[in-house]
Amino acid sequence: MARYATPITQYLDDAGDPLAGGKVTFLASGTEVLQNIYSDEALTIARTNPVILDGAGRTGNIWMQDLDYKIRLYDSADVLVWEIDPYTETSTPSGFDIWSTTVTYGVNSITEGSDGNFYVSIAPNNLANDPTSTPTYWTRFDVQRLWNTNETYSIGDVAKASDGLMYRSLSNSNLGNNPATDATNWSYAGYAAPAKSGVITTTASASTAIAVTGVGFTPSLVRFEATNSLEGSASGYYDGSASNCVWRRNDGTNILGGSIAKTWFCTNNAVTLESSAVGTSLDADGFTVTTSSQNDTAANVLWTAYR
């Protein structure tokens, strides 16, 4: 036997109001012959068929035989809302009405198409336009679950985290790992990762580590734009394994350019003062840079961290 409805199953119209006084009819699949339904799992207490909806649009318990059914939902005026044929023991109601050619849908009405996907109406007076083939009337959408610390995720599963962003699981048996803070087991799903920026002022001391915190995630790459009071500037990046930059020095007649293994490199005309550093770690809440052994002046550094 299969359970079709519970005491909380509720039927609504397109405006979201209960279908009070409507009815659900159960027929043998492919026929107009009523087929028995029951109010108990043992199938000993038969229910009246059709089932009349109460004032809240509910039916109470409905149990079916291990047979194929045709199910129809009507409103209180006996207007057909939708029909399912066949409905089998393994069928599972989605919670949204199946699209019907006889129903006029309004803007933002939601229905389930014959392909099993969900669609939202984007047009008023939307009648007899199959959502699976009329994109001028319907937009397909996905119903996405929120991340739950008690749910175990597999590779490829997608969930919405508390920061409002979508994440895809990178591992199986992924339990209790918050995607908003765990870059090992989760990655952003379907779009470019958001970035966070800030400014730091380095020290004039050589070989000094400078930790930047408050980023909110472990970066995969950090970009830098550096300037100082000297006549120079530089831009570069650090990806956890290499620090590189393109630098420029204006000596009054020439602009020199090149690539060096430092996060930034700014000098005065005579290169008697240097401001340089390398990335040394990508951390859980930010990153760390360390001034080079040649560093002897401070620089203002604009950084942008990417997840």
The residue with greater pLDDT, 48 or 121, is 48
* pLDDT number for residue 27: 93
State pLDDT tens for residues 198-229.
988 888 888 899 999 988 788 888 888 876 55
| CATH 2.60.40 residue ranges for the chain | 195-306
The answer to whether residue 113 scores a pLDDT higher than 80 is: yes
pLDDT tens for each residue of 93-108: 445 667 877 667 777 7
List the one residue out of 234, 204, 238 whose CA is nearest residue 221: 238
Q: What is the pLDDT of residue 175?
A: 94
Instruction: Tell me the Ramachandran region of residue 229: left when phi exceeds 0, alpha when psi lies from -120 to 50, beta otherwise.
Output: alpha
Residue 173 in this model has a pLDDT that exceeds 50? yes
What is the C-alpha to C-alpha distance for residues 105 and 153, in angstroms, rounded to an integer? Answer: 36
Distance between start and end Cα atoms, the chain: 50
Q: How far apart are CA 215 and CA 121, in angstroms?
A: 40
Domain 195-306 part of CATH 2.60.40: yes
The residue among 114, 110, 116 whose CA lies nearest residue 138 is 110
Residue 160, SS3?
A: strand
DSSP codes of every residue in 30-45: TSS-B--EESSTTS-S
Q: In the prediction, which pLDDT does 24 show?
A: 94
Between CA 112 and CA 132 the distance in angstroms is 9
Q: pLDDT tens digits for 254-292?
A: 444 444 555 555 555 455 667 778 888 999 889 998 888
